[in-house]
Amino acid sequence: MSYYKRHAFFCTNLREDGRVCCRQADSLKMREFAKKLSKELGISGPGGVRVNASGCLDRCAEGPVAVIYPDEVWYSYANEDDVREIVESHLGRGEVVERLLLPKKRAAKTSS
């Protein structure tokens, strides 16, 4: 069994060159909100969920973004209400929040 049931990774990358990035959309604040809320709901910690910051998740133009593992579900959010829905629904109950989903990206094929 895994130490955590789910990991939520919030991109908190800041691009110094002025290109679009998640931190420009308050991703640090949203990640802190998600972490605090998961603790308040009693779903954080071993056997539960972990809310992490991450570097660039390479979906900047679709951001701000978060991804939930091991479910491999990608979200974009606009505000605390969206993050609350992700935490309560997906992290808390395992229910995907369809309206916030990012389209799936196909992995690039590599030649052998």
Q: How far is CA 102 from CA 42, 57, 59, 68, 76, in A?
A: 27, 13, 9, 12, 6
Q: What does pLDDT average to over the chain? A: 90
List pLDDT tens digits, range 46-71. 999 999 999 999 898 888 999 999 99
| pLDDT of residue 109 exceeding 50 | no
Q: How far apart are CA 74 and CA 93, in angstroms?
A: 16
Percentage of the chain surpassing pLDDT 90? 73
Nearest to 6 by CA among 88, 76, 82: 88
Q: Where are the domains of the chain?
A: 6-100
List pLDDT tens digits, range 17-26. 878 888 888 9
Q: How far apart are CA 1 and CA 54, in angstroms?
A: 24
Model pLDDT, residue 53:
96
| pLDDT of residue 91 exceeding 70 | yes
More confident site: 73 or 21? 73
What is the CATH code of the structural domain delimited by 6-100? 3.40.30.10
